[in-house]
Amino acid sequence: PAHAGDPDALQNLVQTTVASLGRVDIVVNNAATNPHFGPILEAEASHWQKIFEVNVFGAFLLAKYAAPHLPEGGKIINIASILGFQPGMGMGVYSTSKAALIMLTRVLAQELAPQGIQVNALAPGFIRTRFSEALWNNPATRAHLEGRTPAGRIGNPDDLTAAALYLASAGSSFMTGQTLVIDGGITLAGDVRRPSAARWQAVRLRFHGQKAAPQPATVLPGA
């Protein structure tokens, strides 16, 4: 295990992997966190620092340390989110970090292309994971999300497997700098309604099941 935002820990992770296995072929940046839920202007500096440290800086560091060891045809896969394309109400800092990760994917793809390394990303929708339990374990929230999703359900981790395997395979050798959306169609309609006090209250009720609740330590749609 390694702290996703610790340069020394990530450098040691890569060095240990190379020493043990002799090479690195595929890098997957899947670590993410979100200690703030609420209006973006209510976020503290510490929230921004933690979210970007893990969600963006950590992905950069792992790519930086692993790239020299990747062979031609090597792969870097970043796990972004649909919230990197459209803001999630109450998750503005997280959305901003995932948008940054999508751009990091494109920049790395451009700069590593001469080495024959492909860099792509997955943008999951709402996936049933331990980190997103605050969403899918609340019946009202789950019903709301399923109602907005054309596929009629929340995703499972297995829904990402085939896409991840494709990005890790030789079949994606002519694809780089792209982000595959795996969301059951939820981004087809978007969510651009005007925020209001009543809507904020409804969102908090769906997420927390009560009018006044502490912010969840981690709420991750698509990570």
CATH classification code of 7-133+154-193: 3.40.50.720
For residue 194, which phi and psi values (nearest 5 degrees)? -70, 125
pLDDT at 166 over 90: yes
Q: Of 94, 131, 136, 207, which residue is the catalytic one?
A: 94
pLDDT of res. 6 = 92
Q: What is the C-alpha separation between 171 and 99, in angstroms, rounded?
A: 26
Which range, of 20-24, 90-94, 193-197, averages the lowest pLDDT? Answer: 193-197
pLDDT reading at 128 higher than 60: yes
Residue predicted with more confidence, 222 or 54: 54
Q: What is the mean pLDDT of residues 74-94?
A: 95
Closest CA to 7 of 62, 47, 73, 68: 62
pLDDT value at position 167? Answer: 98
pLDDT at 193 over 50: yes
Return the biggest CA–CA distance within the chain. Answer: 57
Look up 94 and say whether it is catalytic: yes
| Cα separation, 32 vs 3, whole angstroms | 11
Measured between alpha carbons, how far apart are the two ends of the chain, in Å?
A: 18
Task: State residue 222's pLDDT score.
Answer: 46
Where are the extended beta strands (E) located within 80-142? 118-124
Q: What pLDDT, on a 0 to 100 scale, did the predictor assign at position 31?
A: 94
Would you state the pLDDT for residue 180?
98
Q: How far apart are CA 54 and CA 32, in angstroms?
A: 6
134, HSE (Cβ side, Cα atoms, 13 Å): 22
- The pLDDT of residue 76 is above 70: yes
- Tell how strand 26-29 and strand 179-182 pair up: unpaired
Query: Looking at residue 139, what DSSP letter applies?
Result: H
- For the chain, the domains span 7-133+154-193
Backbone angles phi and psi of 99, in degrees to 5: -65, -40
Tell me, what's the pLDDT at 123? Answer: 98
pTM, to two decimals: 0.85
Q: Coil, strand or helix: which one is 212?
A: coil
Of residues 39 and 212, more confidence is placed in: 39
**Contact 131/218 with Cβ under 8 angstroms?**
yes
SS3 162: helix
User: In this predicted structure, what is the pLDDT of residue 220?
Assistant: 41
Per-residue pLDDT band at 129 (split at 50, 70, 90)? confident
Matching residue, tokens 């795996």: 182
